[in-house]
Structure 1
Amino acid sequence: MLSRVAPWLASRNENGLGVRVLGGADTLALRALANEDAVANVFILAHLESTGTAAPTSGGASVFGVFDGDTLLGACWAGANLVPVQLEPGLAGYVANAAHLTGRRYASIFGPAETVLALYARFEQLGHVAHEVRAGQPLLAISGGPVIGANPALTFGSMADFDRILPACAAMFEEEVGYSPFLGGQEFYSKRVAGLIRQGHSLVHIDTTGTVVFKAELGAVTRDVTQVQGVWMNPELRGRGQSAGYMAAVVNLSRTFAPVTSLYVNDYNTKARATYQRVGFEQVGTFATVLF
């Protein structure tokens, strides 16, 4: 990968800025950069807590860093998705060019809105056309417990219930992005769901009939912040005012990992936003997501 990025770097040397793939020696610098906003950067911070290194993974994911000399100015995770880390919008083109030159296909770009949209603007010039652009997604967080009562029925998922949890997760995914997560085969997504359950990051209420009533996952977890993803209420039970109690329970359970609970939501989802506000979440930023 480095060899394919290098020709582009050489053409940029005149302004002192360059892009390269980070290695193990860059771990402390990347962690310090990400900690400038621990809520917005929970994805990369969770990765660093898990692996202990900024070096490329065995699966081929890596982190691009934009440097001024030896100073790391911004970064971007490049795996199945692109996830900017404290990357100023004016530097997004450097990363977009480098990511394009790898020849890799990305499922999405997500993160702070201005930078994500700047990355996509350059990607679009390079021929990458999005399936959908969600330009405004409030980033919400709550520090401490919920301000309303929690539904005690929500608990951590168990592998014994995997065959019930997996279809609910797939239904949520299809509602959210418009296609099935099983399109390319069931194995990858099934492993992802199973991994979340085994880590204790799956939260679910299954009633006495074996029906999943509500579920959510902690998609990224650090010692300081969790990020909730995959919030889903069974369609047959929607509109009864139960979501807020379940989300309050999500906050309580997530606090067993970290004091701050976060999530991001589509700006047009007014019902969900109202629910999160009832629970005590407050907006701390704005994300965007580009789906390819």
Structure 2
Amino acid sequence: MLRTSTELRPLGPDDLSDLLALLHRDPQVNLFVRSRVDATGLNRRWIGSRVLGYFEDGQLVSACHAGANIVPVEATGAAIEAFASQLLADRVKPSSIVGPQTAVLDLWQKVCAEWGPARSPRLDQPFMTITHDSALTPDPRVRRIALDEIDLLYPASVAMFTEEVGIDPEIGGGGYLARVTQLVAQGWSFGIVEEDSILFKAEVGAVSPEACQLQGVYVRPDLRGRGIAAPALAAVVEQARATIAPVVTLFVNDHNIAARRAYERVGFEQTDTFASILL
């Protein structure tokens, strides 16, 4: 019996068509990496990280975004073994491992002795999608945030990030402000602004021709429990589908029952399960 020849190496622009075909196997689940690839063309000067490719008999069968976020793509068991060995050899600890539950947990098992303990393991995150406008009446106050409103948006973004991730995003420099500003400039930041205050906000954090992904959903703390989130999200879905991509996705912690109920009211359905290991 002939043995399968394997290769692990960083992908470059010449591998772009093969990687796009791999990502297209599940364009919603693989959205984050697709958006990074579309934005950079796998040019290392722009992507700021590597995308590792795992080949069998010369065919690309799996990939892994290897930067601050480790994100496996269509990862087989053999590919995860190879990715883990390379990542440990690099001796660089990322901030997170994120992606399909089975692949993430398998990869984590192989690197946890070196990278652990996890600061926040989130092992069961429903991955949800909506392919149509919501049946809810959208909140007419939701609109795109303007560049001259960043001074209002930024404190809400910091509060959301700190609450969700457990660390202050301002530690270590101005990168988070730059990211918030970038999303606003792209027209990917939506919210309700009244009396110089952000009542609700949500951003689109990743985009491909097939889908986009929501992140940073936030309701001002004193307004929570009043039914604001679902109609506001219905408006975001409507506007995002009309102007950004036809399918809207997100993933949520399984224990966040209030958020899950709001997403279900909007019409999101669970189509996969993610896991995130925050380090």
The answer to whether the 8 Å contact 2:36/2:47 transfers is no
Query: For residue 260 of structure 1, what is the aligned residue in structure 2?
Result: 247
Alignment partner of 1:281 is 2:268: yes
The answer to whether the 8 Å contact 1:108/1:291 transfers is yes
Mapping 1:147-158, distance limit 5 Å: 147-158=135-146
Query: For residue 60 of structure 1, what is the aligned residue in structure 2?
Result: 48
- Determine helix, strand or coil for the equivalent of 1:49: helix
- CA positional deviation for 1:18: 2.5
| Counterparts of 2:43 and 2:148, CA distance in 1 | 35
| Counterparts of 2:197 and 2:215, CA distance in 1 | 20
| Between 128-137 and 278-287, the greater mean CA deviation after superposition | 128-137
Query: For residue 184 of structure 1, what is the aligned residue in structure 2?
Result: 172
Return 5+ residue gaps in structure 2 as ranges. Answer: none
- Determine helix, strand or coil for the equivalent of 2:75: coil
User: TM-score scaled to structure 1, two decimals?
Assistant: 0.91
- CA positional deviation for 1:50: 1.9
Alignment partner of 1:50 is 2:36: no
The answer to whether the 8 Å contact 2:6/2:58 transfers is no
- CA positional deviation for 1:19: 1.1
Mapping 1:108-147, distance limit 5 Å: 108-147=96-135
The answer to whether the 8 Å contact 1:154/1:205 transfers is yes
- CA positional deviation for 1:177: 1.1
| Between 83-92 and 19-28, the greater mean CA deviation after superposition | 83-92
Q: Deviations over 1:117-164 (max 9, x none)?
A: 111111113344311110000000000211211001111111100111
Query: For residue 22 of structure 1, what is the aligned residue in structure 2?
Result: 11
Query: For residue 241 of structure 1, what is the aligned residue in structure 2?
Result: 227
In structure 2, what residue type is equivalent to 1:206? Answer: V
Distance 1:242 1:58, change over 3 A: closer
Structure 1 ranges of 4+ moved more than 4 A: none
| Counterparts of 1:168 and 1:189, CA distance in 2 | 12
The answer to whether the 8 Å contact 2:121/2:276 transfers is yes
Q: Deviations over 1:203-245 (max 9, x none)?
A: 11110x1110000110001121010000000001001011110
In structure 1, what residue type is equivalent to 2:21? Answer: A
The answer to whether the 8 Å contact 2:93/2:115 transfers is no
- Determine helix, strand or coil for the equivalent of 1:167: helix
Query: For residue 224 of structure 1, what is the aligned residue in structure 2?
Result: 210
Query: For residue 205 of structure 1, what is the aligned residue in structure 2?
Result: 192
- Determine helix, strand or coil for the equivalent of 1:45: helix
The answer to whether the 8 Å contact 2:193/2:200 transfers is yes
| Counterparts of 1:146 and 1:86, CA distance in 2 | 30
| Counterparts of 1:126 and 1:172, CA distance in 2 | 30
Percent identity for Structure 1 against Structure 2: 38
The answer to whether the 8 Å contact 1:137/1:266 transfers is yes
